[in-house]
Structure 1
């Protein structure tokens, strides 16, 4: 048996799949692509998470595009966080040329250009479906982690959420949170002290500054209603999974907002989706491009929360894929949870680079066909080292792979095409409306105005002044509860307090 035949057999033995799979490319031996050595990924293991890494310009984003395409063709929806703006082309068919046709022929797949169903989404000013969440849905734990608060300040946030839950004060946006902070150190200071103890003004002032910092990164557009329902990610069209492209090109300089959004999304999916166990294919896959933005500015506590969710969300049928330049951008505790590893070329210009390449090579299975550290620096564009998990959870043989070409456009949509996608979206009409209902800010403002009016009337002279004062003081004590009862009838959105409970991360989740 020739070396090539041994190579094909070696790869095939590690990829004996009884269930469905997707083809990423073909194996490369001694620098030459080998026909018949297809590299396949079992759909059954796509909820085991993954990493797509490599230097700038080596083809990471196109590999991400290929995986999302193949999942969509199998009926699996996905969510793509697009920070560079080059994934919207999924909506339009690609262009065939001789180079792509030859590559497809070597890999052993047909190249059929087509556009796929996509949904453009945004958390800022980009066109698309507006993704929002309320402060209440975040909960005290996530809010405290995002604001990077110490233990004392976290206690203040927990107190605020408790007070608002008990008194039916909906925390919808950051304006509500700031107003309650003002209330507990001013008008409501004595009542708070009597029920919960003394609250430090210094802690409140620090929290207020942290909120303002978050607002300066554009968070006021993210917090609010109507809250996005993550079940809307689980859509198919004509048998194809819908690809939700979240356009984040204008928040690269605002990493805290990005990490806030990413963590809230993972938390909401984990809390909302039912347990699925091992299924023949994932329910949903999330691809986080430029993943270093999530981790480089995250506190240790925030990293622990991300790690916890990544470990647990697999049982919900959800796979999470990180796309970044080097594996070292992702914490070791999370790297250890990843099943699929796609490593594009790395560049070695400094001693530090060479050490990083050596360390990266040690993270991959040994191969009798490759010197991994050498292959890492010699691969061309559209080539990658790939290892995944087979259906038994065993890593497949490491393979230098020629990755197949995307069947959709390898470029962005023009403004007219973006407008067409947005106009044809049913979700735009569902979510792109501003709702500013009565929440904590309005209720507290009304309460203070009513108290002032009562106090003014109580000061009027008359024979029954003392009786009136007593009666109105009693009315003042119950005024807030009555106001709350009346406004609760008119509340809109998903934050319906009687139907919600706190989840494991302190965020709101519906009872089922």
Structure 2
């Protein structure tokens, strides 16, 4: 809730606030399933929107779409409002834009294969190091030939082209094995079967369309509809990494702002780091560390702080920890590790508190005005002003088609790129091969005719060189041969009649 020019998150003995100018120092929302992370996420998203800051969040379960609808009063809500002593609480809807990589529950989100790049694309395709090296070669050859890689059919055509001409490129680019080419093509089929072809193409996403406010100066909440996407964890996590990298590379430096330009919430954040190669982990850590200077805040939502690498965790200044369960020694270690990330409060034992927290209750530590972590507070998180639960498909479709961006993104554009160029080259090459075959065949016929003509002329010349006696003998022999042939035929026919 936006109050007193701050984000009011929760209340213990005192109110707990997040300073807007410290919001781009990133944050963490952690806790076991069912402890209230989703409600906390909604409260934060609503507050940023009301503050005029656009928001992005991934809706894995489909229950964040209700940010588009005002909440309704109930006895339970009245009790919560009374507990927080909120005098001016009101139910509100917030400006929402729905997005979906598959174009089903929101506007299509697309990027080009070239923009994704070989490293992230190799992660989506689950390629090993050798196959990733081949993918780098394929991208380099495409660049050198000036071929655009926009969608998966472009990439497929390029992979097949490089495979067919591997010997030609080996000396300049390195060894290109048919086994690696085959593995890449097989994994591309798997990605296509999972709907990956919808993500690659044009028009590609313009992030400026996410960084907007409505007519009342509320920041748009961009919701990525992710229930289907989440079934492919590799594509889900790589999309989020790509998005973060693109923002980092394209946004200008802003320095310290009074409030962020935009805030991103990455749900199920542990997926970003699972099985990621070191080069990718280093890139994530670099982006998280430096993107705050672009005015962007990043908030990770996961079960335990230990789900994140230490280098990333050290960049998260604002922390909200919901309950963790400790039924095993391994779980106990996670609780202790989570407790150690806070500046301790002498009023309670942080380790014990983490296991005792009720649903909707959390340990909260925010950066103060000077960027110092506050002493951890045990507090209840405010209720959201929007509706609990989800929305029906009718309302979702109304919002999607009513968006000013609908005409921009709804129809896919397929311009000339690698697929068309390579297909045209193959057509020209095949026409040349066919014309050469035809030329060779005609040449053979011509040569055969010339040979027969020479033989005929030779016979003519030979005939002209015969004496009259030889010609008469030759003519007689021919006549005798004809008569013998006729007699044989008459004999055969006579036998058949009898």
The TM-score, its normalising length taken from structure 2, stands at 0.83
- Which residue of the other structure, out of 194, 199, 203, is the alignment partner of 2:176? 199
Counterpart contact for 1:259–1:298, Cα < 8 Å: no
Distance 1:210 1:59 in 2: 38
| Change beyond 3 A, Cα 1:301–1:197 | closer
Partner residue of 2:352?
374
Is 1:309 equivalent to 2:294 in the alignment? Answer: no
Using the TM superposition, give the Cα deviation of residue 333 of structure 1 relative to its aligned residue in structure 2, in angstroms.
2.0
Q: Which moved more, 1:290-299 or 1:357-366?
A: 290-299
Q: Contact 1:95 / 1:113 at 8 angstroms: preserved in 2?
A: yes
Q: Aligned with 2:335: secondary structure?
A: helix
- How far is 1:346 from its partner? 1.4
Counterpart of 2:332 (choices 354, 378, 387) is 354
For 1:180, the equivalent position in structure 2 comes to: 158
The separation in 2 between residues aligned to 1:193 and 1:145, in whole angstroms, is 24
- 2:281 matched to 1:296? no
- Is the contact between residue 113 and residue 201 of structure 2 (CA under 8 Å) also seen in structure 1? yes
Indicate whether 1:208 and 2:185 are aligned: yes
Separation (CA, whole Å) in 1 of partners of 2:340 and 2:15: 24
Which stretches in structure 2 are left out of the alignment for 5+ residues? 444-498
Residue of structure 2 aligned with 1:113, choices 91, 94, 98: 91
CA distance in 2, matches of 1:411, 1:356: 30
Which of 233, 255, 265 lines up with 1:277 in the alignment? 255
The structure where helix makes up a greater share of residues is 2
Alpha-carbon distance in structure 2 between the residues aligned to 1:297 and 1:283: 31
Shift of 1:419: 1.7
Which secondary structure state, in structure 2, belongs to the residue aligned with residue 23 of structure 1?
strand
Query: Whole-Å Cα distance in 1 between the matches of residues 194 and 303 of structure 2?
Result: 24
RMSD in angstroms over aligned alpha carbons?
Answer: 2.2
Q: Equivalents in 2 of 1:414, 1:95: separation in Å?
A: 16
**Within-5 A mapping of 1:293-442:** 293-442=271-420
Distance in 2 of aligned mates of 1:293 and 1:152: 23
Do structure 1's residue 84 and structure 2's residue 61 form an aligned pair? yes
Quote the residue 2:51 is aligned against.
Answer: 74
Which range is displaced more, 57-66 or 210-219? 210-219
**Aligned equivalents of 1:216 and 1:296: distance in 2?**
23
1:59 equivalent in structure 2:
36
- Moved segments of 4+, more than 6 Å: none
Residues 129 and 461 of structure 1: is their aligned pair in 2 closer, same or farther, counting only changes over 3 Å?
A: closer
User: What is the number of equivalent residue pairs in this alignment?
Assistant: 438
Give the conservation status (yes or no) of the 8 Å contact 2:342–2:375.
Answer: no
Which residue number in structure 2 is paired with residue 26 of structure 1? 11
Per-residue deviation at 1:148?
4.6
TM superposition shift of 1:457: 2.2
Question: Contact 1:342 / 1:386 at 8 angstroms: preserved in 2?
Answer: yes
Does 2:200 align with 1:223?
yes
1:136 aligned to 2:136? no
In 1, distance between residues paired with 2:392 and 2:137? 49
Q: Residues 350, 340 of structure 1: CA spacing in aligned structure 2 closer, same or farther, 3 A cutoff?
A: same
- What SS is found at the alignment partner of 2:9? strand
SS in 1 for 2:24: coil
Which has the higher Rg, Structure 1 or Structure 2? 2
Q: How does 1:232-251 map to 2 (within 5 A)?
A: 232-237=209-214, 238-251=216-229
| 2:317 and 2:367 in contact (8 A); partners too | yes
Which of 78, 90, 97 pairs up with 1:101? Answer: 78
> Which string of whole-angstrom CA distances, capped at 9 and with x for unpartnered residues, describes residues 161-216 of structure 1?
22212222110112211211111121x33542464354222222232233333333
Offset, 1:93: 0.6
